[in-house]
Amino acid sequence: METEDLQDELKRFLRDRKYLVILDDVWAPEVVIDLLRALVLNLKGSRVLVTTRIDGVVLLAFPDKRITLERLSEKESKELFYRTAFPRDENHECAEQVTQLANKIVSKCKGIPLAIVSIGRLLLVRDKTEEEFRHIHDQLDWELINNPSLEHVRKYSLLELHLPSDKLEELLPIFNLVSRGLSF
């Protein structure tokens, strides 16, 4: 079936219905534009919710309909990172020899929760050694130098780059379940 045929079919289906469409973490404005072409403006109270970190996608929304989330404070960023990277530790603390590196890693995330959680989860499955923390810190430095906005780096791509293949194979079924909306 061609794209136009799918759009026509969707329009017929939605014509007399109230609907809610949610697009999470949209990276390309074209995705929203294509979706809007396929939807019916039927005045039934339907809504489209789009989350993004890309300015070009944000600009597609009416200014009075945009909600911009604030970045976390340094304290909130550290709390989120330590809870994510060290969930088994009662106080969510790391060894003293890596605390300084951990704090540098957190500051590089610039208060962005997705970045903090992604790096925290990455460290969750790694050895908690100074060498591992330094490797992640240096890799993050390289990414920031070569891609200052980090807008194109997806959360799972960081995991894939740094997970040993045996760990990745263990985690893929979990990613599949999480992507289907199941939680643990």
Give yes or no for residue 21 having a pLDDT over 80.
Answer: yes
Alpha carbon distance 129, 144 (integer Å): 23
Give yes or no for residue 1 having a pLDDT over 60.
Answer: yes
CB 137 within 8 A of CB 165: no
Q: For residue 66, give the nearest of 81, 84, 54 by alpha carbon.
A: 54
Kindly state the average pLDDT of the residues 109-134.
85
- Token pair for 125: 């499955």
pLDDT in tens, 56-77: 888 888 888 888 888 899 999 9
Alpha carbon distance 183, 83 (integer Å): 17
Q: What percent of the chain has pLDDT over 90?
A: 10
Residue 123: phi and psi, rounded to 5, are -70, -25
Q: What percent of the chain has pLDDT over 70?
A: 77
Residue spans of the domains in the chain: they are: 3-65, 74-179
